[in-house]
Structure 1
Amino acid sequence: MKGTILSVLACATFVSAIADSPVLEIESGRIIGESADDGYTIVYKGIPYAAPPVGALRWKKPQPVEPWDGVRPCNEFGPASLQGDQDKRSFYFREFFSDGDPQRSEDCLYLNIWTPAAGRPSAKLPVMFWIHGGAFSGGFGHEKEFDGEAFARKGVILVTINYRLGLCGFMAHPLLTAENVGNGSGNYGLFDQLAALKWVRRNIREFGGDPDNITVFGQSAGACSVQALASSPLTEGLISKAIIQSGGGLNGPLAPMPRAKLEEINKEMWDLAGITTLEAMRSCPPEQFGRIVSAYVASKGSYQHSSWLTVDGELLLRTLNETALSGQQLDIPYMIGYNQDDMSPEIMKRAALEWSLLLEKQGRAPAYVYAFTRELPPYPNELRMDGDDRTGAFHSAELWYVFGTLGRSKRRFTKADYDLSERMVTYWTNFAKSGDPNGDGVPVWRPCVNEDRYIQVLDVID
Structure 2
Amino acid sequence: MTIRAACLVGILVLAANGAPLLAASPTAPFVGTKAGTLRGVREDAVDVFRGVPYAEAPVGALRWRAPVAAKSWSGVRPAIEYGASCYQEWPARTFGPYTSEFVDTPRPSEDCLYLNVWSPAQRTAKVPVMVWIHGGGFSGGSGALSIYDGTHLASQGIMVVTINYRVGPFGFLAHPELTREARGTAAGNYGLQDMIAALRWVQDNAAAFGGDAANVTIMGQSAGAMAVNALVASPQAKGLFARAIAQSGSGMGIPAIPLAEAENNGERLFKATGAATLTELRALPPEKIQSANPFYFGSPPPGTPPRIELRPVLDGGVLPADYSQPGAPVASAVPIITGFNADEFMPSNEVTAAEFQQSVRARYGADADRLLSLYPHATNEEAAQSARALVRDVYMTATYRWAVEHSRIGGRPVYAYLFTHPSPVAKPPGFGTFHSSEIPYLFGVLDRNHRPYDDRDEQIAKQLQSYWLSFIRTGDPNGGPGARWNPVDRNVVQVMGLGDDAGPRPPVSSNQRFQALMTYADSGGRLSIR
TM-score by length of 1: 0.88
**Distance of 2:58 and 2:97 partners within structure 1:** 29
- Which of 219, 222, 233 pairs up with 2:221? 219
**Distance of 1:272 and 1:302 partners within structure 2:** 10
**Distance of 1:89 and 1:116 partners within structure 2:** 33
Say if 1:378 and 1:298 are closer, same or farther in 2 by CA, change over 3 A: closer
Instruction: Tell me whether 1:395 sits opposite 2:432 in the alignment.
Output: no
Deviation at 1:442, TM superposition (A): 2.1
Deviation at 1:367, TM superposition (A): 1.1
Instruction: Tell me whether 1:257 sits opposite 2:261 in the alignment.
Output: no
- The secondary structure found in structure 2 opposite 1:407 is coil
Instruction: Tell me whether 1:424 sits opposite 2:464 in the alignment.
Output: yes
Contact 1:128 1:157 in 2 (8 A): yes
Deviations 1:113-134 (A, max 9, x none): 110047x7x7211000000000
Number of residue pairs the alignment of both structures matches:
432
Deviation at 1:19, TM superposition (A): 3.6
**Distance of 2:328 and 2:167 partners within structure 1:** 29
Instruction: Tell me whether 1:152 sits opposite 2:183 in the alignment.
Output: no
List aligned pairs for 1:150-189, cutoff 5 A.
150-189=152-191
- The secondary structure found in structure 2 opposite 1:353 is helix
Q: Partner residue of 2:29?
A: 22
Instruction: Tell me whether 1:364 sits opposite 2:411 in the alignment.
Output: yes
- The secondary structure found in structure 2 opposite 1:325 is coil
Say if 1:46 and 1:272 are closer, same or farther in 2 by CA, change over 3 A: closer
Deviation at 1:458, TM superposition (A): 1.4
Contact 1:266 1:306 in 2 (8 A): no
Contact 2:416 2:487 in 1 (8 A): yes
Q: Partner residue of 1:276?
A: 276
Q: Which amino acid aligns with 2:469?
A: T
Say if 1:457 and 1:258 are closer, same or farther in 2 by CA, change over 3 A: same
Instruction: Tell me whether 1:292 sits opposite 2:328 in the alignment.
Output: no
**Distance of 1:179 and 1:19 partners within structure 2:** 50
Q: Partner residue of 2:308?
A: 305
Contact 1:370 1:456 in 2 (8 A): yes
Identity among equivalent pairs (%): 37
Q: Partner residue of 1:49?
A: 54
- Which of 499, 503, 512 pairs up with 1:459? 499
Could you list the structure 1 runs, at least 4 aligned residues long, displaced by more than 4 angstroms after superposition: 295-300
Say if 1:69 and 1:17 are closer, same or farther in 2 by CA, change over 3 A: closer
Worse overlay, 191-200 or 273-282: 273-282
Q: Partner residue of 1:347?
A: 394
Q: Partner residue of 2:17?
A: none
**Distance of 2:132 and 2:94 partners within structure 1:** 28
Deviation at 1:23, TM superposition (A): 1.6
Q: Partner residue of 1:3?
A: none
Q: Which amino acid aligns with 2:453?
A: F
Contact 2:238 2:331 in 1 (8 A): no
**Distance of 2:24 and 2:206 partners within structure 1:** 23
Contact 1:257 1:311 in 2 (8 A): yes
Say if 1:139 and 1:258 are closer, same or farther in 2 by CA, change over 3 A: same
Contact 2:90 2:107 in 1 (8 A): no
Say if 1:313 and 1:408 are closer, same or farther in 2 by CA, change over 3 A: farther
**Distance of 1:108 and 1:18 partners within structure 2:** 29
Q: Partner residue of 2:16?
A: none
Contact 1:241 1:334 in 2 (8 A): yes
Q: Which amino acid aligns with 1:49?
A: Y
**Distance of 1:234 and 1:112 partners within structure 2:** 23
Runs (5+) with no aligned partner, structure 2: 1-22, 346-390, 503-530
Runs (5+) with no aligned partner, structure 1: 1-15
RMSD: 2.4
Q: Partner residue of 2:455?
A: 415
- The secondary structure found in structure 2 opposite 1:293 is coil
Contact 2:420 2:498 in 1 (8 A): yes
Q: Partner residue of 2:373?
A: none
Q: Partner residue of 2:196?
A: 194
Say if 1:257 and 1:299 are closer, same or farther in 2 by CA, change over 3 A: farther
- The secondary structure found in structure 1 opposite 2:267 is helix
Deviation at 1:291, TM superposition (A): 2.4
Deviations 1:136-169 (A, max 9, x none): 0111001111121221232111100011111111
**Distance of 2:81 and 2:295 partners within structure 1:** 35
Q: Partner residue of 2:69?
A: 64
Contact 2:139 2:168 in 1 (8 A): yes
**Distance of 1:361 and 1:200 partners within structure 2:** 29
**Distance of 2:257 and 2:454 partners within structure 1:** 42
Deviation at 1:254, TM superposition (A): 2.4
Q: Partner residue of 1:5?
A: none
Deviations 1:277-332 (A, max 9, x none): 0110000001212322249977974433342111112101122256x625434211
**Distance of 2:201 and 2:110 partners within structure 1:** 20
Structure possessing the higher radius of gyration over alpha carbons: 2
**Distance of 1:176 and 1:300 partners within structure 2:** 30
Say if 1:300 and 1:148 are closer, same or farther in 2 by CA, change over 3 A: same
Deviation at 1:355, TM superposition (A): 2.5
Deviations 1:76-96 (A, max 9, x none): 001001111245452255253
